[in-house]
Amino acid sequence: MQNEALLVSQAALSGDRKAFGQLVEAYQSPIRRFLFYLSGDEEMSKDLAQETFIKAWLNIGSFRAIAKFSTWLYRIAYNNYYDYVRESKAVVNVDADSLRDKMTADTPDRDFGMDFERALLILKKDERTAMLLFYMEDQTIAKISKIMNCPAGTIKSHLHRGKEKLAKYFING
């Protein structure tokens, strides 16, 4: 991929759709995976990812490069998911069995097996979000703090509690 900063500036300043398309190609799979692990619904994750990129395109002019583009994009995805949950007044319950059925064969994290997906179910949504961003998407605590719009100390607490719960889950079965 061409230099990300250059692509972002081309998309923002001149409305270069080709440059933005390269950004979509680079981030489409990670954003879908993130939304899938939050929702457990493949179709919803595709729809929310598409909405994320539409919002990013429409608002790219407001991107100020205070944070990395990926942080800004994950923040949009995170907000889309929770807006959807609030608007639909749906309580999103990720069912481990349906999660397994919906996982595609090309999902790179499939080797974790269903134990990992089941284990995610025991976490609160903020713990799950922090854990997914940190361990699955390799985001830093500072980036997760920006994405989730909460202090770094809170993210560290979510990660600590999430790790403790997962450790108990895997030790006790």
> pLDDT tens, 129-171?
999 898 888 899 999 999 999 999 999 999 999 988 888 877 7
d(CA 14, CA 12): 6
Predicted TM-score (pTM) of the model is 0.68
Amino acid at 13: L
DSSP conformation class of 15 = -
**Tokens 């729809």, residue?**
47
- Note the pLDDT tens digit of each residue in 30-89: 999 999 988 888 899 999 999 999 999 888 888 877 778 889 999 999 999 988 888 776
